Amino acid sequence: MSNIHDNPAGLKALQDDIYRERVLRARKMSVPERLADVFELSNHQFGMMLGGAMHRLGTRDEAAGWREVKRWMQRLDRVRELGLYATEKPPDK
């Protein structure tokens, strides 16, 4: 069987199919179901951040990992509050 990555058009078609399926599934969901998915994704992301923090610190101490995650989040908050965080690319000069 050939590798899908060897065929850019086939890969693009696969990506489009996956995206289409996700959109159609989301449209069928109720608001409470969507909200539950948001919390599930958020919990997963915080778990990934915890794992990354613990790896970066070289520890198995979850409390130390959570302190590092908190530090990261506080840094993001400061950047946002100072207006240094942008969600859009600046216009060309």
Sequence ranges of the domains in the chain: 4-81
Q: 84 by DSSP, 3-state: which?
A: coil
Query: For 16-29, what is each residue's pLDDT tens digit?
Result: 999 999 999 989 99
Contact between 72 and 53 (Cβ < 8 Å) = yes
Report the C-alpha gap between 46 and 52 in whole angstroms: 10
Mean pLDDT of the region 46-67: 97
pLDDT over 60 (residue 32) = yes
Spell out the residues 6+ positions from residue 85 whose beta carbon is closer than 8 angstroms to its own: 76, 79
Contact between 69 and 49 (Cβ < 8 Å) = yes
pLDDT over 60 (residue 93) = no
